[in-house]
Amino acid sequence: MSLETKPRDNHCHATSVADGMDTSSRCWHQCHFSKRRKEGKKEAEKKRTGEKTQRQVDAYHIGISLTESFSDVCRRMLTLPFEEPATMPEPRFTANFPPECVAENKKLASKKLDASPNPKAKETREENSEKEEEDREDDQDENGLPKRKGARKKKLTSGRQERVKVRRQEANARERSRMHGLNDALESLRKVVPCYSKTQKLSKIETLRLAKNYIWALSETLSAGKRPDLLAFVQTLCKGLSQPTTNLVAGCLQLNARNFLTDHNGEASFSARPPYDAVYASYSGSETGTPTGHGCGGGTSTLDSAKPFRPYSYGGSYESFYENPSPECASPPFEGPLSPPINFNGIFSLKHEDPAAEYGKTCHYGMRYCPVPGRGSLGQSSMFAVSTDGHFPYDLHVRGQPYAAQDELNAAFHN
């Protein structure tokens, strides 16, 4: 976008802010944006009281949690053997943003401003106070009546004005580019969280929430050192997400009532062998299919042999998830835009374009979506043949030297 590129929709703003507003447009703005002003008043009130807006608080929480949980998982991945859950620290997702902190930060900020070593900031304050002083003096004569003496402010020369304008345009362009970079990063994040759709993009805030939840869930699994409960995992994943996003996630994970049957007692159970077991039957039973460790601690992983998985049940979680869904996690049957999933890959991302080549460059493992029976096959180069029994439409797809722990997680979370 060139510097001259006019923003698509900010002409009104530009007019009102930069050039002032005529009466009619002011009237129009008053009508049209009374809502905004009301919100603005609310925000201003919050500002005065040092209260953060809900979105600010949300974003702060998520940012902190994301950072902490990500570094936590990285630390575990890199430094701790997967077999020693006891030695792993409990996940720390307790970062919060209490009002007192806000107040404290405000205090500190104002102190900092007062004692700011930055001469420019001081200068600005001095200039401002001088200006106010001048205003008071110049606007009134000795009788307190308003008076006008010529121009007080030095007028910018046209050259200087031009320069200021150019600098502002350049700054705008940089800001745009910066925000685009930020959005690109967010887009990358969208692609690696457990649900990705080009047609129904997660909002920024939802992407951050989902990423946080995902890291949390992975972290919990690492801590537990055993295969996760599917529904508990999904519950964690959906915590705090909006209903549409929850639906989307459920759709991506193909979790809906169709995947379950209800027995005579009204208790839920899987309609067939849990896919997780299906995976691990072949996973742990296949010597050749057992991924080797990635060298952490100098040894290979023995997850498959030394750490056999316990029998697995979905009952409790099913009930909690489907019969008494929490307000945050309620998930009606998914009928979203992803019904014909094309390709699960990486960490359960649904792609509508084939990123396999790109993905293969950076990832050691992956999950390819296998079409449900009757839809043809995608499963080339699959390392693990998975018993699908009509309910498990995935197969493990290992590229290069896999990370045992990652495979563990990957397999678990994809079932």
Partner DNA sequence: TAGGCCATCTGGTCCT
Partner DNA sequence: AGGACCAGATGGCCTA
Residues found near DNA in the complex (CB under 7 A): 1, 5-18, 29, 33, 35-37, 40, 43-44, 47, 53, 55-56, 109, 112-113, 116, 118, 120-121, 124, 167-176, 178-180, 183, 201, 203-206, 242
Q: Which residues pair with 368 in a beta bridge?
A: 395
- What six digits make up the tokens of 292? 């080797």
Closer to DNA by Cβ: residue 108 or 224: 108
Q: At which residue do the structure tokens 């129009």 appear?
A: 28
Closer to DNA by Cβ: residue 10 or 305: 10
- Three-state secondary-structure class, residue 363: coil
CB of 198 to DNA, least distance (A): 14
Residue 3's nearest CA partner among 166, 180, 158, 184 is 166
Closer to DNA by Cβ: residue 203 or 377: 203
- What six digits make up the tokens of 126? 């001095």
Residue 249's nearest CA partner among 238, 261, 262 is 238
CB of 96 to DNA, least distance (A): 16
Closer to DNA by Cβ: residue 178 or 375: 178
Closer to DNA by Cβ: residue 338 or 396: 338
Name the DSSP letter for residue 200: S
CB of 67 to DNA, least distance (A): 12
CB of 335 to DNA, least distance (A): 12
Closer to DNA by Cβ: residue 116 or 140: 116
Report whether 279 contacts 290 (CB < 8 A). no
CB of 178 to DNA, least distance (A): 5
CB of 254 to DNA, least distance (A): 22
Closer to DNA by Cβ: residue 27 or 224: 27
Report whether 221 contacts 412 (CB < 8 A). yes
Report whether 272 contacts 389 (CB < 8 A). yes
d(CA 221, CA 210): 16
Q: At which residue do the structure tokens 């792609």 appear?
A: 351
CB of 125 to DNA, least distance (A): 7
Alpha helices in 307-350 (DSSP H): 315-318
- What six digits make up the tokens of 362? 């950076």
- What six digits make up the tokens of 105? 């930060």
- Three-state secondary-structure class, residue 349: strand
